[in-house]
Amino acid sequence: MPLVLVAVIAGGVLLVGCAVSAPPAPKPTETPKTAGDANPAAPDPEPPKPAVAEPPAAKESEPAKPAPDVKPAKPAPDVKADAAPKGSDDRRIYLETIGTLTASHCYQTYLNIGLIADGKSKGNYSEKDAYKVLDSVLSLLDTVDRKLGQLAKLDLEKEDRTSLEQMRKLSALLRQQGKVLQTYWESGRDDDAAKYEDVRKDSWAVIGKLLGIGG
């Protein structure tokens, strides 16, 4: 620090000495500004935006994968074309089965009427039992004939309709045979017996044609 000469008069005597200059006073410390003292016009700092991860670029060395091989859908089957032959075969089987069973029934009816006639004439059946058994046979014949009438309303081929008409004709002959037999039982006349024999022969002729049997 610089030395300063100072003259002091004390008691008439001149004193000379060195004085040391005082050190400079320190500057007052500035008080830090608070958040409230900040400039209000200054905008608040924006928060950092999150980084968006970009998809990795496709490697040039990897070849593009081909699209999957999509097979074309198979066309739906033609139901009508497939079902027609089967339905035709089923119809044929049904008609043949009905025809066979009906012809067999008529044949058995013919035999039953003859057995009843022989049984009564030989005394194996009483008059009451003979009528009762014959009525049951004719009742079954009527039931089958009604079903044949319903079958005749269907759209049938020429051959099937011809066979159906023959079976209905046979059914009518068998019914007539049974009725003529009852008439003969009631009258006992020879002409009724001859009429019964004629109808019986007509019934057998139709049965033989349907079943392919002779005699």
pLDDT of 36 > 50? The answer is no
10 domain residue, yes or no: no
3 domain residue, yes or no: no
Range of the domain at 202: 88-211
pLDDT of 190 > 50? The answer is yes
149 domain residue, yes or no: yes
Q: Given this model, what pLDDT does residue 209 score? A: 83
11 domain residue, yes or no: no
The total of structural domains in the chain comes to 1
Residue in 180, 182, 99 with CA at minimum distance from that of residue 144: 99
79 domain residue, yes or no: no
Which of 79-83, 96-100, 202-206 is the least confident region?
Answer: 79-83
99 — pLDDT class (breaks 50, 70, 90):
confident
44 — pLDDT class (breaks 50, 70, 90):
low
Q: Given this model, what pLDDT does residue 84 score? A: 39
Amino acid in position 56: P
State percent of the chain over pLDDT 70.
59
Higher pLDDT, 215 or 173: 173
194 — pLDDT class (breaks 50, 70, 90):
very high
89 — pLDDT class (breaks 50, 70, 90):
confident
